[in-house]
Amino acid sequence: VDLAILSQFPFPQPQQEYAHSIRLDGDIILGGLFPVHARGERGMPCGELKKEKGIHRLEAMLFAIDLINKDPELLPNVTLGARILDTCSRDTYALEQSLTFVQALIERDGSDVRCANGEPPIFAKPDKVVGVIGASASSVSIMVANILRLFKIPQISYASTAPELSDNTRYDFFSRVVPPDSYQAQAMLDIVTALGWNYVSTLASEGNYGESGVEAFVQISRESGGVCIAQSLKVPREPRPGEFDKIVLRLLETPNARGIIMFANEDDIRRILDAAKRNNLTGHFLWVGSDSWGSKISPVVQQERVAEGAITILPKRASVDAFDRYFKSRSLSNNRRNVWFAEFWEENFGCKLGMHGKRPGSPKKCTGLEKVGRDSTYEQEGKVQFVMDAVYAMAHALHRMHRELCTGYPGLCPRMANIDGKELLAHIRTVGFNGSAGTPVSFNENGDAPGRYDIFQYQINNRSTAEYKVIGHWTNQLHINVRTTNLDSALPLSVCSMPCRTGERKKVVKGVPCCWHCERCEGYHFQASEFTCDLCPYEKRPNQNRTGCQFIPIIKLEWHSPWALVPVFISVLGIIATTFVIVTFVRYNDTPIVRASGREMSYVLLTGIFLCYIITFPMIAAPDVVVCSFRRIFLGLGMCFSYAALLTKTNRIHRIFEQGKKAVTAPRFISPASQLVITFSLISVQLLGVLVWFSADPPHTFVDYGEQRTQDPQNARGVLKCDISDLSLICSLGYSILLMVTCTVYAIKTRGVPETFNEAKPIGFTMYTTCIIWLAFIPIFFGTAQSAERMYIQTATLTVSLSLSASVSLGMLYMPKVYIIIFHPEQNVPKRKRSFKAIVTAATMTSKLSQLAAERPNGEVKTELCEGVEASGESTKDTFMLLLKINHKIYSLVNVSAAQ
C-alpha cells in the first residue's frame, strides 16, 4: 500500500551534490539562507523541522521567484534561479553552508591534475550566485556577511534586526527589508514615555538580537535622559533548570520597576511568563515586548493572565493573500523542488511517509491527499512579506542593471555575464517600489529599511477571551491611543529610586540623574556625602552606621593569653633550674667535678642559658622603647654566650688531639684565660652588630594595622609591635646560628673522643638536638607569616625554641654533674696528678697503637707485641703493660690536668 501511494506522489530525487539544498536553474542564480531546521543538540548540527520560520519563508522565496519569472515587465527574457541552503539556526553551520555561494569565484587550477588514464579531469562548474537572500537570525547574518563581503556578493536579509548590522564599514554588502532594532528601541522608549514610566528593567536573550536590542534601548534612554534602567538581565543560550525562576526573582529585587523591556526569543518569553506564573506574580509585571513577541500566540498559550496587558511591537506588515493560495495548493506531487517538503508534510499532518519517513513513531501513515489549511491549521508566518520583498528588491536592482547595461538586448547580454557585486549593491541601495503587502520598500545609506511598526496590546475582553489589539503605530514618532489600553490605573508611576539608608550612597546612573542605585559603603569606606563613600584613614575603620570613622583597637600579646602562659611557664622552670645549677657550682666551686668541667667556661655557658630563658619576658611584655631595646640586645645574646662557650670548648678538644698526633708539646691558647678571651671575642661580634643596629635605627614601637586588617572592619585590629622585622630578626639570630653550626661541626669532629674526656659527647648530643629544634623553628615561624594569629604563633615559637635549646644544654651538660655532686659526693674526689707532657706523650702512643691495630688483621698486633716482649726481656714487657694501662686512663688524666 505504501509503495502504491509513493508511486502516485513521487518525491524529488535531487543529485547527491544538492541533497542538502534546493537548486533551481536560471540565467541568474540567487542564494537563499533559511532556518529550515532548529539548532541540533548533542553535537548534531540540525534539529527538528521549523514549519513556519523555515518552510513558510523558504516557499515565499520560491513563490516570489515564480512571480518574477512570469512577470513580463520585470527582468524580461531573464530567468531567475536559486540555490537555497538550510542554516539549521546555527551561525557556524550557516557559515560552512554559505561557502557554496563563493565556490564559483574561487578558480581551480587543474593543469597539474590528471586522471588515471592520463586525461585532464572535468570539474563540475558550480553555480555563480550574484546575491543572497537571508539570513534570518542576526547572529547568522553577521557570520555570513563577513565572508560574502570578501567576494563582493550583496546580501538582503528579511528578518535580521541587530543594530550592529547597520555598521556600513564592516557590513557594507549587507542590506535588509526590516527596520533595525535601533528604530524598534526608539519606538519602545516612546511607548514607555507615553505611559508615564521612567524606571524599567530590561531582559534579553543571549545573542546578537537580544543583546544588541537591549544595548540600543539603553543607549537611547541614556541620551534622552527620561528613563532609568533598573536591571539588565540576560537569558543564557542554554539555560540550566531553574534559571528562569532565578531571573524572575532577580527582577523582584527592584520591585518598583514593574515595566520589563524584553528582547527575547519565543521560547524564552514563554518560559519567563511561566516562571512569573509559578511564582504568583500575575499582574505584577507589565511586559513590553519586541518584534520577536509581536502578535504570536505560542508565547502566551495557557499563560493568558500573566501576559495580560503586555504591549508588543511588530514591523508594519500585512498578510500576502496570493501566498496563502499558493501554499495551500502545495502537495507532494507539485512541490518536488522543495527537498524538505516531505518532512514538512509528516510534521504538519502528524503522519508517516513510507518506511523512510522521518517520523518512525507516528501511528498513522500519510495518504498524500492531505491538504494544507483543511487537514491542518495554517497561519501565514509573519516574515513571509519581507522574504518576498527581499527577493523583489534583488530583482528590481538586477532589472535596473539590465536596463543600464543591456539596453535593447533581449535576455542576458554579455556585459552581465559576470555581474559586478559592487555595482549591483549600488542599484540595490537606490531601489524603491511598493512591496508585496503594498508598503513601500527602500534602503538608506546603511542598507536599512525605514522603521514602521504596529503597537499591540494583549487584552482579555469581557468574554474572557484573549487577543492582540492594535493600540497605535510608530513611524518616526509614536501614535498611540492610551484610552484603548486596559492598563491598571493604580500602576505606580515615576518612582525610580527610594531614598538611601544611612551608610549608603547614591550611585547615579551615568547620564540619567533621575535614577540611582543605593550602594552600601563597603569595606573600610564611610558615607562622606549623599553621593560618595570615602576610605577611612589607615588607622581607622567605619563606625557602626558608617557615617564616620573611629580608631581601630590596638592589641598586644597579653600575659594571660595561652600563647604567653606556656612560654612563660617553660621559662620560669628553666630559670629556676639554671639558678639551682649556678648556686650548686658556686657552693662546690673547688671540687674536682666543677674544676674538671672548666669553671670559667661553665659560668659563661650558664650565663648564656640564663639569658635564653630571660628573653621570654621582654618578648611578651608590652612593647615600648625600653622593652624594644631589651629585645634587640638579648634576642641573640643568650644564644651567642652559649654557643661561643661551647664552640671554644669543642675547638680546644679538637686542637689538643690534633696536636697530640704531631708532637708532645701542648697547643697554644688552651688555658682558662685564653678560653675566656676567645669566648668574649666571639660574643663581642654580636654586641658590635647590636650597637650598629642601635645607631642606624634607634628602637621604637609602631602599630601594624595590616597584620589583622580583615575584610570585615569590625574584626580589624592594630598590633602594637617593636620595629623588628623578620629580616632584622634573622640578622640578629644569624650570627648565633652560625656559631651553633660551627660548634656542631667541631662536635662531629671530636665524636670519637671517649665520654670521660671533657664532655665531648654530651656537647655533641646537645648540638645535634639544638640543630633539630631550630630546623623545626624556621618553617613554623615563616610558614605562619600570612596567618591572622601571626603575632601569637611567631612570638610563642621563638621563645619556646630559645627555652628548649637552653634546656637541652642545661640538661645534657650540667644535670649529670649536679646529680653526682649532690647525691654521690664519694665520686667527687681528686685523681692522681700527671704532667701535661706525660699525658700528651701517652695519648700519642695510644693513637699510634690504635693506628697499628687498624692496619693489621686481628691478632697480628698482639703477636708482634708479644714477640717484642720476648725479645726485649722484662723491661720491654713492663713498658707494654704501662701503655695498656695508659690506654684506659689517658682521657680522665687529661681532664684532671685540664682542670689544674
The 3-class SS string of 610-628 reads HHHHHCHHHHHCCCCHHHH
Question: Which band of pLDDT confidence, cut at 50, 70 and 90, is reported for residue 662?
Answer: low
Q: The cell 707532657 sits on which residue? A: 837
Most confident of 579-593, 596-610, 667-681: 579-593
For residue 298, list its beta bridge partners. none
Q: Could you tell me the maximum CA-CA distance found in the chain, to the nearest angstrom? A: 153
Question: Which band of pLDDT confidence, cut at 50, 70 and 90, is reported for residue 686?
Answer: confident
pLDDT of residue 860: 41
Q: Is residue 742's pLDDT more than 90?
A: no
Q: For the domain 504-551, what is the CATH superfamily, name and number?
A: GPCR, family 3, nine cysteines domain (2.10.50.30)
The amino acid present at 582, given as its one-letter code, is I
Q: In what order do the strands lie in the sheet with 478-480?
A: 228-235, 199-205, 259-263, 286-289, 311-315, 453-460, 466-474, 478-480
Question: Which band of pLDDT confidence, cut at 50, 70 and 90, is reported for residue 711?
Answer: confident
Tally of CB atoms within 10 A around 688: 11
State the Cα–Cα distance between residues 343 and 596, nearest whole angstrom. Answer: 111
| Rounded mean pLDDT, 883-890 | 38
Tally of CB atoms within 10 A around 677: 13
Whether the CB-CB separation of 826 and 659 falls below 8 Å is answered with no
Q: Which residues of the chain does CATH 2.10.50.30 include? A: 504-551
pLDDT of residue 493: 60
Whether the CB-CB separation of 894 and 839 falls below 8 Å is answered with yes
Q: Give the tens place of pLDDT for each residue, 130-174.
A: 999 989 999 999 999 999 999 999 999 999 988 889 999 999 999
Question: Which band of pLDDT confidence, cut at 50, 70 and 90, is reported for residue 2?
Answer: very low
Q: What is the residue-averaged pLDDT of the chain? A: 81
| Rounded mean pLDDT, 546-557 | 87
DSSP track, 712-756: SGGG-EEEEEES--HHHHHHHHHHHHHHHHHHHHHHHHTTTS-TT
The class level of CATH for 562-659+700-831 reads mainly alpha
Q: Is residue 535's pLDDT more than 60?
A: yes
Percent of the chain with pLDDT over 90: 30
More confident residue, 858 or 628: 628
State the Cα–Cα distance between residues 575 and 559, nearest whole angstrom. Answer: 18
Q: The cell 587543474 sits on which residue? A: 110
What topology is assigned to 181-316+451-480 in CATH?
A: Rossmann fold (3.40.50)
The class level of CATH for 21-107+125-153+320-355+364-438 reads alpha beta
Question: Which band of pLDDT confidence, cut at 50, 70 and 90, is reported for residue 681?
Answer: confident
- Helix, strand or coil for residue 39? strand
Q: Is residue 813's pLDDT more than 90?
A: no
Q: Which residues of the chain does CATH 1.20.1070 include? A: 562-659+700-831
Question: Which band of pLDDT confidence, cut at 50, 70 and 90, is reported for residue 358?
Answer: low
pLDDT of residue 119: 72
Lowest mean pLDDT among 10-19, 366-375, 484-493, 777-786: 10-19
How far does CA 644 lie from the centroid of its chain? 54
In what helix (H) or strand (E) does residue 342 lie, and over which residues does it extend? Answer: helix 341-349
Strand 311-315 versus strand 453-460 pairing type: antiparallel
Q: Which residues of the chain does CATH 3.40.50.2300 include? A: 21-107+125-153+320-355+364-438, 181-316+451-480
Lowest mean pLDDT among 167-176, 504-513, 577-586: 504-513
| Rounded mean pLDDT, 71-77 | 92
DSSP track, 395-434: HHHHHHHHHHHSTT-SS--GGGSS--HHHHHHHHHT--EE
| Rounded mean pLDDT, 653-668 | 63
State the Cα–Cα distance between residues 338 and 11, nearest whole angstrom. Answer: 9
More confident residue, 127 or 243: 243
pLDDT of residue 10: 39
Cis status of the peptide bond prior to 135, with omega within 30 of 0: yes
- Helix, strand or coil for residue 676? helix
Question: Which band of pLDDT confidence, cut at 50, 70 and 90, is reported for residue 275?
Answer: very high
| Rounded mean pLDDT, 354-377 | 77
Most confident of 366-375, 392-401, 476-485, 608-617: 392-401
CA distances from 265 to 269, 272, 474 (A): 6, 11, 22
More confident residue, 63 or 477: 63
Question: Which band of pLDDT confidence, cut at 50, 70 and 90, is reported for residue 112?
Answer: low
